Amino acid sequence: MIGGDKMETILNQIMYSDLFLMNPATLTIATLTTMMTLYLYFIQPSKLIQAYFRVAVRWSGMRMKCTKPLKEGFIFSYGEKGSKVKGQMSILLLHGFSADHFMWASIVQNVPSSIHVVAVDLPGHGFTSDPEEGDDIGFEGQVHRVRQFLDLVELASEPLHVVGVSMGGTVAGLFAAEYPHLVGALTLTCPSMKTPVESRTIQDNKIQVLQNGGLLTLDNCPMLPQTAQKLQAMLDISHYYRVKYPQQILKGAVELRKKKNDIYLHLVNYLISEESSVLLENNLHRIQCPTQVIWGKEDWIVDISGVDVLREKLADCRQILILEECGHAINLDQPVLFAKAMLQFWFLHNSQENLAKSVS
């Protein structure tokens, strides 16, 4: 018959067998890691979010890199998966307003490593340098910076498949218009533009904006939330699938974004100006490469009626894809479908590009 003390020892060994197998050093590391995670979560959640971003980017297969500085010291940060293959189009990814290359992680993880992908952080975003005073932070200035970036990473010798979302979609379109020899295929995804029907977000905030002389402020801009509650509201209008995030995580994300408040506010007021909002539409006739248009059916930020403008005015619109159960944040709502559509377009026009070269 087993005594009480011995029985308790046996039960402890069964229930906590993993701990018995750990040596003291491993147990100490595990304990410290847990304590550090809890500390970051409750005291510095922004640090925990930054760590998560880095892990997600690495998990997608991208390596985080920075370019050599330009003469004025400007540096680009970017994520890269695979390597440049001569005669094969690389894919250049351009993110949306207040995002960075991390937004592409869920999509890039679905791209084979045999295909070269580069996701650059636009000026003032991610770890790319902030614009200097007097720099053109608008679409044309960003197009110029993208061209500089391609020179620095030696991707300006062959056509690319350029893919842009929201603000990045407009930059992609204008880049294709300005540098047609560098774009073999183009994917425009809910680009920032004036649409025939105003989006729900514009309608809901129009009165507040007009009361401030037509300008957005940190108090009335839905895309620059200053509290955890407002960030949750922004995520709700961006996504089709609504997820309630823990308050600590939301607080950490808000703190991270606040560091860029001045840049983002200046930029967003440029984006909503009349001149800026029609810039892509006024240049659509200059885009000569095969173009694919992708839009979320439930986009509340840039209304889906913009599809009609692109269909009518693009010179070579090959495909229009409306994604069901998808809002503006396509990378979060439908990353697999988006990656599949992007890759199919790449395969089609990469082979055509190679065929054209062989014939010539």
d(Cα 338, Cα 190) in Å, to the nearest integer? Answer: 12
Catalytic residue of the set 161, 239, 328, 349: 328
- Choice among 116, 129, 199, 299 that is catalytic: 299
Q: What is the CA radius of gyration of the chain?
A: 24
**Residue 181, exposed/middle/buried by CB under 10 A (0-12, 13-18, 19+)?**
exposed
Partners of 187 in the β-ladder: 163, 292
Catalytic residue among 90, 129, 166, 199: 166
Q: What is the C-alpha separation between 129 and 131, in angstroms, rounded?
A: 6
* 328 is an active site residue: yes
Q: Rounded to a whole number, what is the distance in angstroms from the first to the last CA of the chain?
A: 91
Which structure tokens are listed for 30? 């595990």
Q: Is 181 a catalytic residue?
A: no
Pick the closest to residue 310 from 281, 274, 338, 278 (CA basis): 281
Q: How far apart are CA 18 and CA 359, in angstroms?
A: 65
> Catalytic residue at 95?
no
Within a 10 A sphere around the Cβ of 148, how many other Cβ atoms? 13
The residues assigned a catalytic role are 166, 299, 328
